[in-house]
Chains A and B, each alone.
Chain A
């Protein structure tokens, strides 16, 4: 008898993790814009309002400053809030509560005050939503100390990392890519909808995963980029190049050993990131290898990242700027031609 399929979209996997933790721990609650009866603009709180009601699934006014401050205060006072900020692009208005209070209070209190908040927010573009609804800003959050940052690429990780994030006593920024949610109007990457166990489990925060094994080049990515990288690896295989594809899964803490060990094997490194190229994730990945041992590299590292421009609205201009499998193939061939 074959095992029965039980695939979930990332959106459903997130909701399932939250509902299971809310049943186990009454301190867990959810708040944000349209997380209640609507079930979240990206579907990730569907069913929660019906099960837990308006007290624990709280629709907020459109004041990120107010509800982010409330969440940080609630977390410091013993609750375990999960807060949705609909688009990562909107963080500017409420950043003080995040990087000055949430991220620092544990340190400033000498470890006496935990701030176990989960902030979930959508990232990424590709569906022509313009420069204020399409950014990733992974590097912005990863740069600021005091917060863990996770970026799941599939439904299995999405559930396990949400459960881990809720149980973590540190603040966790949970960044989900819109194109992986399983919402049709955002375009859906089929590879993100995978089998998910019904019972609770955690995926360790801080551990990367090798999602395809190869010998010639290491491709490091996260979120949607993992799927572009897997498509690229399949194209490269036809050309006789085998790629190790690493899904970072967590940006903070970064699994530098995992990256280093792969590059040590392949000698070549290509980083794929939908966030802006300069001063960000791709540079940090490369630095974490070369500052440890530059002699393992057989070719200069390559980057396929978002150009340093505000994201265009026009479809053909946005698609030109985004990472894709063809760009990754070219970068890998540049690296392996050395």
Chain B
């Protein structure tokens, strides 16, 4: 089986208001190995913090960095799973 690329996406229903959010913390570095369910990042919208966890196991590539503004539905990273 070939490797698969999974997107780390901000859920479109994570917060209700029409406001932008910001990435406050990445808990893992770019290019790090992560396991499905690992805490990856924390984002903040209107002073409320939300956790983003890994949707898959693999190698992380960060697309949106700390302090960058993000919106619902944005892809903030990808995870490339190794071939089985």
A contacts, CB < 8 Å to B: 1-2, 4-9, 43, 182-185, 188, 190, 193
Contact = CB atoms under 8 A, between A and B. Distances in A.
Contacts of B42: 9, 182, 184
A188 B28 contact: no
The main secondary structure of chain A at its interface with chain B is: loop
Interface residues on B, range: 10 to 19
Nearest to A196: B27
Contacts of A9: 25, 42
A103 to B, nearest CB: 36
B25 A193 contact: yes
B25 to A, nearest CB: 5
B24 A183 contact: yes
B74 interface: no
Nearest to B47: A185
Interface of B: 22, 24-29, 32-35, 42, 44, 47, 49, 66-67
Nearest to B66: A190
A182 B32 contact: no
B26 A7 contact: yes
Nearest to A190: B66
A7 B47 contact: no
Contacts of B32: 2, 4-5
28 contacts: A1-B33, A2-B33, A4-B32, A4-B33, A4-B34, A4-B35, A5-B27, A6-B28, A7-B26, A7-B27, A7-B28, A8-B27, A9-B42, A43-B49, A182-B24, A182-B25, A182-B42, A183-B24, A183-B44, A183-B49, A184-B24, A184-B44, A185-B44, A188-B24, A188-B25, A188-B67, A190-B66, A193-B25
A184 B44 CA distance: 7
9 nearest CB pairs, A to B: A184-B24, A184-B44, A5-B28, A5-B32, A7-B27, A182-B25, A185-B47, A5-B29, A9-B25
B72 to A, nearest CB: 17
A183 B66 CA distance: 12
A81 B44 CA distance: 31
A190 B65 CA distance: 11
B33 A184 contact: no
Contacts of B29: 5, 7
Contact of B22 (A4, A8, A184, A190): A184
Nearest to B23: A184
A49 to B, nearest CB: 16
Contacts of A6: 27-28
B66 to A, nearest CB: 6
B41 to A, nearest CB: 10
B66 A188 contact: yes
A7 B32 CA distance: 11
A39 B26 CA distance: 20
A178 B17 CA distance: 27
